[in-house]
């Protein structure tokens, strides 16, 4: 059984550098996402068998994707600015929403627990004190319209996620 996710991998060095800089400004002891793990996730899958994995791979192989560019801008929080668990950089919705429909053109049930919102996770927050929360909220306002750059999208990859020595390791499966 495999734990997989479909995603667009972020490869542009300049964009990654800018994302890392802003992520660093939020450093209040939270868990930052390493540069090499920055991506835009479409679907999560837990415990897929071989047949289900092949169905997802086939759907990704059949995506008709012409290379396109999207703006990476804005910084926000999930699930809300009052209850902050993830700080993210935003990505234009319209082109990704169309791509999302193609990515999901299989019959395998995903383990997504929220509606699709294209974003790049910068850091995760498991526990936040009131004083830290106010600082993060202020920084979210400061970076509300921040422009990171453009991302060229030309493929969707399937990644496998494995727990290894108290950390997650992602490897491309497709």
Question: What is the pTM (predicted TM-score) of this model?
Answer: 0.89
Residue 49's φ and ψ, nearest 5 degrees, are: -85, 180
Confidence of residue 126 (pLDDT cuts 50, 70, 90): confident
Q: Locate the domains of the chain by residue range.
A: 2-172
Please check whether the domain covering 2-172 is classified as CATH 3.30.420.40.
Answer: no
Residue closest to 2 by CA, chosen among 117, 149, 143, 160 = 160
Confidence of residue 1 (pLDDT cuts 50, 70, 90): low
Task: Determine the average pLDDT of the residues in 55-83.
Answer: 91
């Amino acid at each position: 059984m495999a734990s997989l996710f479909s995603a667009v991998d972020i490869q542009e060095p300049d964009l990654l550098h800018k994302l890392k800089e802003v992520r660093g400004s939020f450093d209040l002891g939270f868990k930052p996402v390493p540069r090499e793990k920055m991506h835009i996730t479409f679907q999560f899958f837990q415990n897929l068998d071989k047949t289900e994995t092949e169905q997802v791979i086939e759907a990704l192989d059949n995506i008709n994707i012409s290379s396109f560019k999207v703006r990476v801008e804005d910084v926000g929080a999930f699930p809300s600015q009052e209850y902050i668990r993830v700080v993210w950089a935003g990505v234009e919705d319209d082109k990704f929403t169309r791509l999302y429909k193609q990515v999901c053109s299989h019959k395998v049930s995903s383990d997504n627990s929220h509606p699709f919102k294209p974003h790049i996770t910068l850091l995760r927050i498991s526990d936040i004190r009131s004083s830290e929360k106010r600082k993060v909220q202020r920084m979210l306002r400061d970076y509300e319209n921040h422009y990171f750059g453009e991302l060229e999208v030309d493929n969707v990859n399937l990644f496998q996620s494995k727990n290894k020595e108290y950390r997650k390791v992602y490897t491309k499966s497709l």
